[in-house]
Structure 1
Amino acid sequence: MSYKHLHGKMYITETLLGNQFQIHPLSFFQCNLHGAEVLYKTVEELCQFKNNTILLDVCCGTGIYNAEYFSGLAEKLLPQILQDHIEEEDDIVAVLNPGRGGVGKKVTRALRRCENIRRVVFASCKPLGRMQFNMIELCCPINEEFVGEPFLPTKAIPVDMFPHTRHYELVVLFER
C-alpha cells in the first residue's frame, strides 16, 4: 500500500491501558480500543504473573505485552532467547498473538522444548485458520517432530472485538 503524506503529523496518538502509542499509517493497531482493553486484560489475567515470571511476547505486533525487544523472525530468535536468557527457576509464560497466518512449526517446537514454559496464552483473530494447526502442534503427544511435554488447553475465552460481525478474537490458555 502506498500513501502520500500531505499535511500534519505523520502519526496519531492513541491511549490504551494508560500508555500512549504513536500510530503511523502502516502500523497495526486495534481500532476498537474498548475491545482491545478487554482483550489485553484477558491475556494479562491468563498469564498469572508472579515475581519470577518471564514473559515471552511472540509475534505480538506492537509489543503492548513486553518490555525488552528482540527484532526478527520468531522461529529464528526464540530458540536462542530461550537458551541465553532463561534460568531453571524462572516461571515462563509465552503470549502468542500472531497474524492470521499463525506461527510456524519452528515456534511451536521451540515452545514445547523449553520445560520452563508452563503456560502459553494464544490470541487469534482467525481461530478457524492456522491456529487450529498450532493448537495441535502444542498439544500432540511427544513424537519425532515435537519433543517436550505437550500443553493442554484449559480455558478458551472469545472476545468480541468486532461488534455486529461474525468475527472475534479467541484467547486460549494452554498449560502443562
Structure 2
Amino acid sequence: MTVPNAPVASAAQNRRQDPKTVKDYIRTIVDFPKEGIKFRDVTTLFADARGFRMAVDQLLTPYAGTRIDKVVGLEARGFILGGAVAHQLTVGFVPIRKKGKLPGAVLSEAYALEYGEAVMEIHDDALQPGDQVLIVDDLLATGGTARAAIRLCERLGAEVVGCAFVIDLPDLGGRALLEGSGVDVYALTSFDD
C-alpha cells in the first residue's frame, strides 16, 4: 500500500543509513574451485541493489574530475561492473574477452597463468589514439589479465588512467605488478588470505 505524501528516502539517504561496506556483501566459498581456495563471490554483491549501487559509486570516486572516454571491462564480471560504471559516466563500454569470443578483427595479448598461458582480445577499432580509459574488473589477483588489458589499450594508442577493482588479493602481487608499471590501482576492499 502506498501512503499519500509519505516522505521517500533518497538513494543517498539510504546509503548513509546502511552500515554495511562492500566487503559485507561478498560471500566466501571455501574449497572452490578446488580444495584450499577461498573463492570471493561477488554475485551476492551484484544481487543486492544497495550493495551493487555502493560498489559502482565507490569505483568512480577516485576518478571524479578525471577525463574518461571509455570504460574497459574484463571478462566476465568486469562486464557487469564496467557496464554500470560506463552508464554512470555516460561514456562507451569496451569489452576485453578471452581468445576467440569477439567477432571481427582483433588485437591479441598473451599472459602467463600458473600453468601455461592465456590470451585476451580487443576489437582493433574499439579505442582511438588519445582515448582516456578506465579498466574495471571484479578481482585483482596476480595482475596478469589486467596487465594484458593495459597492453591492448596502449597498443591502440589509448591512455589507461587507472584500474579499478572490487577486490584486491594483495598476497598474490597483482597490485605491485600494475603499480610497478606506472598504472594507478584502486580497490574497494581486500582479502589477505
* TM-score normalised by L of structure 1: 0.49
Larger proportion of helix: 2
* Higher radius of gyration, 1 or 2: 2
Larger proportion of strand: 2
* TM-score normalised by L of structure 2: 0.45
Structure ranking higher on relative contact order (CA contacts 8 Å, 6+ apart): 1
